[in-house]
Amino acid sequence: MNIHIVNTFYPPWRGGAETYTRNLAVNLQRIGHRVSVTAAHPPLKPGDYVEEEGVSVKRLRSIGMFYGVPIVPELPRHLMRVEADILHVNFPNPYTASSGAFTSKLRKMPAVLTWHNDLPPVTKVAGILVRIHDSILSSYYLNIYDAIITTSNVYFEGSKILKKYWRKVRVVENGVDCERFKPGVEVGDLKMRLNLTKSKVALFVGALTKWHRYKGLEDLLAALKILNREDVKLIVVGDGDLRSEYQDMAEQLGLSGRVLFVGNLPDNLLPRYYAASDFLVLPSRDRSEGFGLTILEANASGIPAVASNVGGIPGILTDRVNGLLVPPRDPQALADALQVIVEDDDLRVRMGLMGRKIALSHDWSKVAFETFKVYCEVLQNRGLMKSKAQIPM
């Protein structure tokens, strides 16, 4: 099958949708499909198709940003030239979603949309735009897509938008690379270099931009202040326009020596930071958190997570099984949970072991195959595939 995937960005840009796009593309290619990807060019230069891990990737020129996403004038015209059996577009990005739907309708090309999460109303103006999008604009393109993939049944059940299209919604949960993220990675030198050998280490992984403020890092910093333990340190992986604001906040709270901002990390180093940590913290504030992919990465590494009971998170994290669930926007409750996971070594280790088992059931190869079955269903419904017997099992 010839598959073309469209996303806002592509690695080395770091983000959940970017991780999803690359791993899905690579694993679809590994099971025998021809896969190409279109995305905006940052952080690399625009150019023609380049083969990366067996996937043909084209980065189109972006001329600026609007509502946190790139403006790529060439995208609609480019998609009109793409040759594929099926088009797979990723949301949240109304521009790419609309462009994909436009292409599908004009070219009668089967199309699937992965709905990672609802649009985040990060400002008052953004909130107005989100309401316009959700109530009016979204229906124009969602009606066109043959199927809508959501990565969490919990998220689907709580989404007013997706509920309207329940007949075409298919749940395919996110995956994780259990070979990259695994227990037993040697990190002694890293812990010595970061002065972590005598500390319990919490890890936060996420973009530090205003569009990702929903990740709740300021709530985590406030919780660390309440916790008031010198033996607990936090590693913050990520970068963006809010980094200096978070660093100033940590300093004002008296946490400078306990919070390490390490910036963005190359993909080959990220597993070592998980392995050097005792647990992950994902204190997301609202439904903008559609899944919580970092929870799976932590669990694959053999460590549990402390995360907010919002969005798609409770679909992948069960309280006291592979981590602890806490109310969102509640630094005191978060501090209490941190106290539990720091103090109870047996619970922490037990949740880490169970997390690894859960992660193994979410390997990307399985996600790719389940997604491929959605493609087959779409093609069959369009009369482009004769029967389910053509689907390899």
- What is the predicted pLDDT for the residue at 308? 98
Same structural domain for residues 200 and 165? no
Q: Which amino acid is at 182?
A: K
Same structural domain for residues 289 and 380? no
Contact by Cβ (8 Å): 258, 225: no
Domain coverage including residue 122: 2-175+363-390
Same structural domain for residues 119 and 41? yes
List the beta bridge partners of residue 203.
Answer: 235, 280
Entry pTM = 0.91
- What is the predicted pLDDT for the residue at 393? 46
Same structural domain for residues 160 and 276? no
- What is the predicted pLDDT for the residue at 128? 87
Query: Rounded distance, CA 292 to CA 277, Å?
Result: 18
Contact by Cβ (8 Å): 95, 75: yes
3-state percent breakdown (helix, strand, coil) of the chain, nearest 5: 40, 20, 40
pLDDT in tens, the chain (393 residues): 999 999 999 999 988 999 999 999 999 999 999 999 999 999 999 999 999 999 999 999 999 998 778 999 999 999 999 999 999 999 999 999 999 999 999 999 999 999 999 887 777 787 888 888 888 889 999 999 999 999 999 999 999 899 999 999 999 999 999 999 999 999 999 999 999 999 999 999 999 998 899 999 999 999 999 999 999 999 999 999 999 999 999 999 999 899 999 999 998 999 999 999 999 999 999 988 999 999 999 999 999 999 999 999 999 999 999 999 999 999 999 999 999 999 999 999 999 999 999 999 999 999 999 999 999 999 999 999 865 545 554
Same structural domain for residues 140 and 99? yes
- What is the predicted pLDDT for the residue at 151? 95
Same structural domain for residues 288 and 321? yes
Omega within 30 of 0 (cis) for the link into 12: yes
- What is the predicted pLDDT for the residue at 123? 77
Same structural domain for residues 261 and 374? no
Q: Is residue 266 part of a domain?
A: yes
Same structural domain for residues 112 and 222? no
Same structural domain for residues 354 and 330? yes
Query: Rounded distance, CA 35 to CA 10, Å?
Result: 14
Same structural domain for residues 53 and 133? yes
Query: Rounded distance, CA 196 to CA 275, Å?
Result: 12
Q: Is residue 198 part of a domain?
A: yes
- Phi then psi for residue 82, to 5 deg, are -70, 135
Same structural domain for residues 235 and 313? yes
- What is the predicted pLDDT for the residue at 298? 98
Q: Tell me which residue of 181, 179, 360 sits closest to 275, measured CA to CA.
A: 181
Query: How many domains in the chain?
Result: 2
Q: What is the CATH number of the domain that holds 211?
A: 3.40.50.2000
Q: Is residue 180 part of a domain?
A: no
CB count, 10 Å around CB of 42? Answer: 17
Same structural domain for residues 231 and 343? yes
Query: Rounded distance, CA 140 to CA 95, Å?
Result: 12
Helix axes 217-227, 243-252, angle to 10 degrees: 20
